[in-house]
Amino acid sequence: MIFAGALTVLLIAIQCSQWLSRFRVVLSADTLSIWLAVLLAPHMWLALRWGLGRIKTAANQSTSEQRALSMVAARAAVVALVVFAIYGMVVRTRLRDSYHGNYSGMLLISQQLFEGNPLFALRDDVRKTLVFGEDGGYDAQFMYFASFDPFMRAFKDHPAMYRQVMDAPPYRFGRIGFSWLTWVLSGGRWERYPATMVWLILCSLAAAAFMLSFTAQEQGLSPALGVLVIAVPGFWRSLLSGLPEPTAGATLLGGLLFLSRGRPWLAGGLFALSLLIRETGVVLVACVVGAALIAGRSQHGRGGAPGVRDALIVALVAGGALVAWRLYVAWTLASDWGLQAIPFNPGLSWPLAGVLDLWRSIVDGQYASSSSHLSRAAIALSLLLIGGFALALALAAAPHDATSVAAAIYAVMAICLSYAKVWLFVGNTERVTYELFLMLALSCLTIRAYSKPLQRGLIAFWSCSVVYVFFLTFDAAYIRSALAVPF
């Protein structure tokens, strides 16, 4: 209420600025839209609630449980729209200011790698549609390339050619899920691949917010918990680089939601898709399956918990899909790569070894060409991850579930990341640690089960994560500017 009042006064002052001073203040359309959305959000929610009530009264066919479920879904949808709008504003600004509306710019495609790629020999039509990134590009370009050959058939008789398609074919093609989704949702039309990739990430962020908000309400908590999606540093890095961590996260959350509602086949399918995008999600899947097997419950468990049969279905579907595809990739590349066609690239070292190497590099002035923004972000993120590690271990030691155990494992992995493979660029670390943040967000759904110190720890962690995203990460100023934050 106070914030809304302040905004109202500010808007009136801006409108009257030409009479109160020698200057006339003009607001951009984006800024005005965001401020009006903040002011009208409570009234929009009341209107939506009234409309839903009117529809149900007129139909006179919904039970009280159906009405309650509809309201839960409506609240979650509002939260998802807010998250979509926040991320969407930044995408819109980046497209407009940096790439003239061309979505391919967000994929950071290297012109050198594109022109040396045999998939695009004599494909000047594709080249003319692209905006190329600087230097060697970034990881999304390889998922874009894979969308043109999603089943590895272009060079099936000459697999050595794939060395010119990807920097590491077993590793890149092993993570084929995002390219498959791009190919399917674009209808196989290559002109739509870049826009499809970016919109798929945006929709995944909204879906993740919806599922967090929906589950929070089922636990008797505020639907606003879904907004935690905007405080995950890796999601911002993925969005601005065209990468699929948000999609992998949304499918993990979808798998958990369907499994809790006794739909193991759908859950297994979503888990399988997530693992084909990023195999690191196997930690959560293994924890969920292991918890059900250890508990030894009946078919549907108790209190919505998965039963043994459900867990076995999930393990079969998700694990089977991942293993089958990896074996297919290995078989396709075997004549060129041998046993190396089965990728294994964890990027892990001893606990805190990578962090200590990072700090030494910053002190010596050798990190990221002495960039103050990158050094500041790297120090802040390393401290945030250490705090997340301590919090995750404390949560796992308390009365816990599968997600808290998974959080502890992801936390250990986060502090074991090597300098050479991950910390060399802080954006890499933001991306590969997204699962830790996602698990800690899920831990908030059972916050009432924890002691007061742990509850305060969760609140403090997410407060620090918000500060990091909007003030300490290396492009925080750009994010605030794109969102028209007036400070």
pLDDT in tens, 273-326: 999 999 999 999 999 999 988 876 544 444 456 788 999 999 999 999 999 999
Domain boundary among 11, 27, 61: 61
DSSP 319: I
- Among 165, 37, 28, which residue's Cα sits nearest to residue 97? 28
Beta-carbon contacts of residue 28 (< 8 Å; ≥ 6 apart): 484
- Among 321, 211, 333, which residue's Cα sits nearest to residue 260? 211
User: Does residue 427 fall inside a structural domain?
Assistant: yes
User: Does residue 171 fall inside a structural domain?
Assistant: no
Q: What's residue 298's pLDDT? A: 45
Biggest alpha carbon–alpha carbon distance for the chain: 78
Q: What is each CA distance from 28 to 31, 89, 304, 483, in whole angstroms?
A: 5, 13, 49, 11
Q: Which residue has the higher pLDDT, 55 or 365?
A: 365
Here the tokens at position 457 are 């720890």
Number of domains in the chain: 2
- Among 180, 403, 340, which residue's Cα sits nearest to residue 276? 180
Q: What's residue 302's pLDDT? A: 46
Here the tokens at position 418 are 């090597």
DSSP 425: S
β partners of residue 417: 348
Here the tokens at position 362 are 């910053």
Beta-carbon contacts of residue 61 (< 8 Å; ≥ 6 apart): none
Q: What's residue 307's pLDDT? A: 81
Where residue 54 falls among pLDDT bands split at 50, 70, 90? very low
Q: Quick: pLDDT tens for 23-40.
A: 555 555 455 555 555 555
Residue range of the domain that includes 20: 2-61
**What is the DSSP track for 256-273?**
HHHHHTT-HHHHHHHHHH
Here the tokens at position 124 are 């000047």
User: Does residue 283 fall inside a structural domain?
Assistant: no
Calculate helix-pair angle for 245-260, 434-443, nearest 10 degrees.
Answer: 30
User: Does residue 133 fall inside a structural domain?
Assistant: no
Where residue 417 falls among pLDDT bands split at 50, 70, 90? very high
User: Does residue 431 fall inside a structural domain?
Assistant: yes
Angle at CA 235, nearest 5°, toward 234 and 240? Answer: 100
Task: Report the chain's mean pLDDT, rounded to a whole number.
Answer: 87
Q: What are the phi and psi torsion angles at 152 (to 5°)?
A: 55, 50
Domain boundary among 22, 38, 61: 61
Exposure string for 175-203, b = 16+ CB within 10 A, e = fewer: bbbbbbbbbeebeeebebbbbbbbbbbbb
Domain boundary among 61, 79, 102: 61
| H or E, element range at 132 | strand 132-133
Does residue 1 have a pLDDT over 80? no
Here the tokens at position 154 are 């272009």
User: Does residue 241 fall inside a structural domain?
Assistant: no
- Number of H helices and number of E strands within the chain? 24, 2
Q: What's residue 369's pLDDT? A: 83
Which residue type is seen at 128?
K
For residues 421 and 347, give the distance between their C-alpha atoms in angstroms, rounded to a whole number.
6
Q: What are the phi and psi torsion angles at 445 (to 5°)?
A: -70, -20
State whether the Cα torsion 245-251-255-261 is positive or negative.
positive
Percent of the chain surpassing pLDDT 90 = 73
For residues 359 and 38, give the distance between their C-alpha atoms in angstroms, rounded to a whole number.
40
Q: Quick: pLDDT tens for 231-278.
A: 999 999 999 999 999 999 999 999 999 999 889 999 999 999 999 999
Q: Which residue has the higher pLDDT, 389 or 347?
A: 389
Q: What is each CA distance from 249 to 106, 191, 377, in whole angstroms?
A: 20, 27, 23
Q: Per-residue pLDDT averaged across 431-451, rounded?
A: 95
Q: What's residue 122's pLDDT? A: 87
User: Does residue 292 fall inside a structural domain?
Assistant: no
Q: Which residue has the higher pLDDT, 81 or 400?
A: 81
User: Does residue 461 fall inside a structural domain?
Assistant: yes
Does residue 87 have a pLDDT over 80? yes
